[in-house]
Amino acid sequence: MAAIALAAGTVAWLACVLFFWRARAWLPYYAIGASGAALLVVVASREVFPVELGLRIATVQCVGLVSALLHLGASPAPEAGTLLVSGFGRNEWTHFSVGLESSGLLEAATLGSLIALYPRGGPRQRAATVIAAIAASFVANVFRVLVIVTIVGFAGQGTLDFAHLFLGRVLFFLMAMVLFWLAITRPMLHTVEARLRGGH
């Protein structure tokens, strides 16, 4: 059922994107195209293909590896996509589950869609930028989870909500802004500058 709904949604999305593309109505093309693509990617990654689970497991393994190297006290738990965080100087263990918000799927889908649907550059250039941006987004998300588990390990379980729901979101939002600047805004400014110089 999910696959059928996804296929129907994809066809409807493609029809809208092609219509606005041919009409050269760039604002609705970009708004509907990027938001629709991100939504379709998230739904497909959760309901049809095990992409989200793979991201959760990869995030946990990377966090566990870096934590072991830096002695931060976080290690993969037996359950897929979860971490066990030991308290520094306290007999305390925190079970941290890497869910949808901590997997980086939402941010990677959004950033990738914004780049892929942006009407600038050739397909190869955009594909390379999308791949680089998604890889950078994954690294940023691993860093976010590392910060969260480190704070919980040092300050205790009572800081989990603050570290996860507030600090982690703010930190990743700032990193996403940097990625968006590097991937879209800066190249766009260079293009505008080149056109202005050519006009003179």
Q: DSSP states of 77-97 as a string?
A: -SSTTEEEEEPTTSS-EEEEE
Going by pLDDT thresholds of 50, 70 and 90, the confidence category of residue 179 is confident
| 25-46: pLDDT as tens digits | 988 999 999 999 999 999 999 9
Going by pLDDT thresholds of 50, 70 and 90, the confidence category of residue 84 is confident
Between CA 113 and CA 36 the distance in angstroms is 8
The one-character DSSP state at 75 is: E
Sheet strands side by side (includes 82-86): 74-76, 82-86, 93-97
CA separation, residue 80 to residues 42, 55, 75, 95, 163 (Å) = 19, 11, 12, 12, 22
Q: What is the pLDDT of residue 199?
A: 54
CA separation, residue 84 to residues 153, 156, 177 (Å) = 10, 13, 30
| 106-127: pLDDT as tens digits | 889 998 998 888 877 777 888 8
